């Protein structure tokens, strides 16, 4: 069979895919698992060891099945715990390729790069849970269905349904949007495209297509949900995802609805601005694609904000259609302006002015209180200068030239800002609870705690994981760190007649009598946002530097004194001496 030659468009899609995988896989295991991530990873770890009795049934059997298989083949680690969400997030960027007849080639390519570098989607892809898998598999399923691949669409639909309660929020938003589109009398996502082209509807209306799609969907649920029939309880876990979603309507998460809106504005300003531009530009036209995407964005946003069990991660269901809408809006402007030197010059001037706005905001961090108001007036003046620049170009040349230059300058500046926000949320500040896309609580010094325990175990036993460890702190993240320690135990309290080699205890245990027999070191463990409301009071510092109050919960690692060479004693004398020391403290 003759292979077709790669076009420049194909190479750009490959570049988007490589970028998507790169930013998702880079140092993927460098950040400790949070409490919620560790809880799921431990269940996958138990399943990989065949300990079905110990494995709980979280309502995310898709993640558990794929991750446990990976653990069984390659061992367990933070990187492997997050591998499947990262891979699914990476492959999602190829979905717009199938929608080229609907979106247009230029818009589909813009959307692919948007999916690859969006801060929220990248941050979700680097979390060990099923939310990105639900979103990614759902988008890929829609793309395969549009490309008339019912078997692949059914497999991805089944995997999306197995990926946790998040899928029901996404499906509900799509159903509401579909109802809104039908209510105003438009076909779902079809109609006239750029240049008068017509979108060809997929073959999903045929009974054979639907039967194949549904058959592969339920076949995937049956096979993957039961982990190839080895864990039938997985089907119960899948069914419980719907009840978990229902409980979210009566159990508030404590996250203000305004925080979702602020996260959308500050992490996705490029998509938000040009998505609105696309709607405003085409609202008078019979552009059912723009109407469909706009209603989808609106339905998903209202639903995410109204959901009491909301999280910032729920915005991902808003971002996908918003990026499609943004791509349609940008594709109408980008291209012609690149051929005009006036538009290019105007765009360069706007980039410089908007960069000056950012530097002025950053300078507020070092400005005395009396001069802050002056700097804010300076920011407003720079904005006015940018607007006047566009007006003068429109008056001196043409409105179209000025509009193309403004779009190029603003989109380029916001693209750089988006990439910076993406790197901050996924790499630079990934452990910082001030990053809104990182679900709290984050885990602090887990890596340092693990290294300390390994060194103690090697020096005392000659084996990296043979040390006796008793933890009276019941934390999933701590259980994950101690998963390879065969002598690790988690009793509710410490029997003071026994003095294990290492004790992990909460802050305040230094007042207990047994602590006199140990040396202790504190470790920052749970990190939570230290503010209430939408944003911290010093919101400019948060915006520029992600500096915000953090509530830190510490734990103490106690190592028995005889583990250290300079205090080592032998035989019964060591135990008697430790007991006498404890009695004296009492």
Q: Per-residue confidence at 1, pLDDT binned at 50, 70, 90?
A: very low
CA distance 196 to 185: 20
| Digit-coded pLDDT (tens) for 193-230 | 444 444 444 545 578 888 999 999 999 999 998 888 88
CB 284 within 8 A of CB 136: no
Report the pLDDT averaged over residues 313-341. 86
- pLDDT over 90 at 68, yes or no: yes
CB 306 within 8 A of CB 253: no
Report the pLDDT averaged over residues 507-534. 89
CA distance 554 to 329: 49
Q: Per-residue confidence at 286, pLDDT binned at 50, 70, 90?
A: low
How many C-beta neighbours within 10 Å does residue 492 have? Answer: 6
SS3 334: coil
CA distance 61 to 244: 13
Percentage of the chain exceeding pLDDT 90: 59
Tokens 């800002």 belong to residue? 417
Distances (CA, A) of 50 to 43, 72, 484, 529: 11, 9, 15, 38
- pLDDT over 70 at 310, yes or no: yes
CB 393 within 8 A of CB 402: yes
Q: Specify the pLDDT at position 42.
A: 94
Q: Specify the pLDDT at position 110.
A: 95
Report the pLDDT averaged over residues 460-483. 93
How is residue 77 written in tokens?
A: 């680690």
Structure letter (DSSP) for residue 324: H
CB within 8 A of 207, min separation 6: which ones?
A: none
CB 429 within 8 A of CB 267: no
Q: Specify the pLDDT at position 193.
A: 44
CA distance 329 to 324: 9
CA distance 565 to 455: 13
Phi then psi for residue 23, to 5 deg, are -70, -20
Structure letter (DSSP) for residue 470: E
Q: What average pLDDT is seen over the chain?
A: 87
Q: Per the omega criterion (within 30 degrees of 0), is the bond before 441 cis?
A: yes
Q: Specify the pLDDT at position 338.
A: 65
Q: Per-residue confidence at 581, pLDDT binned at 50, 70, 90?
A: very low
Q: Specify the pLDDT at position 197.
A: 46
Q: Specify the pLDDT at position 235.
A: 84
Structure letter (DSSP) for residue 162: T
- Is residue 27 exposed (0-12), middle (13-18) or buried (19+ Cβ within 10 Å)? exposed
Q: Specify the pLDDT at position 54.
A: 61
Tokens 């004194």 belong to residue? 561
Structure letter (DSSP) for residue 192: B
Question: Which position has the higher pLDDT, 585 or 568?
Answer: 568
Q: Specify the pLDDT at position 296.
A: 93
Report the side by side order of strands in the sheet with 550-560.
Answer: 442-443, 518-529, 550-560, 502-506, 469-471, 488-489
pTM given for the model: 0.90
Q: Per-residue confidence at 580, pLDDT binned at 50, 70, 90?
A: very low
SS3 15: helix
Q: Per-residue confidence at 332, pLDDT binned at 50, 70, 90?
A: confident
- pLDDT over 80 at 361, yes or no: yes
Q: Per-residue confidence at 583, pLDDT binned at 50, 70, 90?
A: very low
Q: Specify the pLDDT at position 211.
A: 92
CB within 8 A of 280, min separation 6: which ones?
A: none
Tokens 């499947």 belong to residue? 84
Instruction: Output b/e per residue, 260-269; b: 16+ Cβ within 10 A.
Output: bbbbbebbbb
Tokens 């639909």 belong to residue? 157
Cα angle for residues 60, 111, 126 (degrees, 5° grid): 35
- pLDDT over 70 at 284, yes or no: no
- pLDDT over 90 at 163, yes or no: yes
CB within 8 A of 16, min separation 6: which ones?
A: 93, 109, 112, 113, 115, 116
CB 45 within 8 A of CB 64: no
Report the pLDDT averaged over residues 525-539. 90
Report the pLDDT averaged over residues 517-543. 91
Question: Which position has the higher pLDDT, 383 or 366?
Answer: 383
- pLDDT over 90 at 578, yes or no: no
- pLDDT over 90 at 476, yes or no: yes
Find the length of the chain. 586
How many C-beta neighbours within 10 Å does residue 575 have? Answer: 13
DSSP secondary structure string, 445-457?
SHHHHHHHHHHHH
Task: Give the range among 71-80, 330-339, 483-492 with minimum mean pLDDT.
Answer: 330-339
CB within 8 A of 445, min separation 6: which ones?
A: 523, 524, 525
């Amino acid at each position: 069979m003759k292979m077709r030659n790669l076009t420049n468009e194909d190479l750009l899609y490959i570049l988007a895919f490589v970028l998507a995988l790169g930013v998702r896989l880079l140092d993927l295991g460098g950040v400790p698992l949070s409490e919620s991530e560790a809880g799921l990873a431990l269940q996958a770890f138990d399943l990989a060891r065949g300990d079905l009795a110990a494995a709980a049934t979280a309502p995310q059997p898709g993640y558990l099945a794929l991750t446990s298989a990976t653990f069984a083949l390659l061992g367990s680690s933070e990187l492997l715990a997050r591998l499947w969400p990262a891979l699914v997030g990476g492959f999602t960027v190829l979905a717009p390729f199938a929608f080229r007849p609907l979106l247009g080639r230029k818009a589909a390519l813009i959307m692919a790069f948007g999916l690859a570098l969006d801060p929220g989607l990248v941050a979700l892809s680097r979390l060990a849970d099923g939310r990105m898998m639900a979103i990614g598999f759902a988008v890929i399923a829609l793309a395969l269905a549009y490309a008339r691949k019912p078997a692949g669409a059914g497999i991805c639909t089944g995997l999306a349904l197995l990926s946790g309660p998040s899928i029901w929020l996404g499906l509900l938003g799509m159903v509401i949007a579909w109802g809104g589109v039908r209510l105003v009398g438009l076909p779902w996502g079809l109609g006239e495209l750029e240049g008068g082209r017509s979108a060809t509807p997929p073959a999903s209306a045929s009974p054979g297509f639907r039967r194949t799609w549904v058959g592969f969907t339920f076949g995937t649920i049956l096979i993957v949900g039961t982990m190839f029939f080895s864990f039938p309880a997985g089907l119960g876990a899948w069914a419980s995802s719907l009840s978990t979603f229902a409980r979210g309507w009566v159990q508030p998460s404590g996250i203000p609805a305004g925080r979702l809106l602020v996260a959308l504005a500050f992490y996705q300003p490029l998509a938000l601005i040009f998505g609105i531009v696309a709607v405003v530009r085409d609202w008078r036209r019979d552009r059912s694609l723009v109407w469909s995407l706009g209603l989808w964005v609106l339905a998903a946003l209202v639903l995410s904000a109204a959901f009491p069990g909301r999280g910032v991660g729920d915005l991902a269901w808003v971002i996908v259609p918003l990026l499609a809408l943004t791509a349609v809006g940008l594709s109408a402007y980008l291209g012609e302006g690149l051929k005009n030197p006036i538009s290019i010059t105007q765009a360069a001037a706007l980039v410089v002015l908007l960069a000056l706005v950012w530097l002025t905001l950053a300078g507020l961090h070092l400005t005395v209180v009396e001069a802050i108001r002056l700097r804010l007036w300076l920011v407003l003046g720079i904005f006015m200068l940018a607007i006047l620049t566009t007006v003068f170009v429109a008056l001196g040349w043409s409105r179209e030239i000025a509009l193309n230059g403004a779009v190029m300058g603003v989109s380029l500046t916001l693209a750089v800002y988006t990439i910076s926000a993406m790197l901050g949320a996924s790499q630079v500040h990934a452990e910082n609870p001030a990053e809104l896309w990182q679900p709290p609580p984050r885990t602090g010094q887990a890596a340092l705690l693990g290294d300390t325990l390994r060194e103690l175990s090697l020096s005392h036993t000659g084996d990296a994981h043979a040390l006796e460890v008793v933890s009276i702190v019941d934390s999933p993240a701590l259980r994950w760190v101690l998963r390879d320690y065969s002598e690790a135990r988690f009793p509710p309290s410490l029997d003071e007649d026994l003095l294990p080699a290492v004790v992990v205890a909460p802050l305040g245990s230094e007042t207990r009598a047994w602590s006199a027999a140990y040396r202790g070191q504190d470790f920052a463990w749970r990190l939570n946002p230290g503010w209430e409301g939408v944003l911290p009071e010093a919101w400019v510092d948060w915006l520029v530097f992600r500096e915000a109050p953090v509530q830190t919960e510490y734990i103490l690692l106690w190592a028995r004194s005889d583990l250290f060479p300079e205090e080592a004693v032998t035989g019964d004398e060591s135990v008697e001496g430790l007991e006498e020391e404890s009695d004296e403290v009492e």
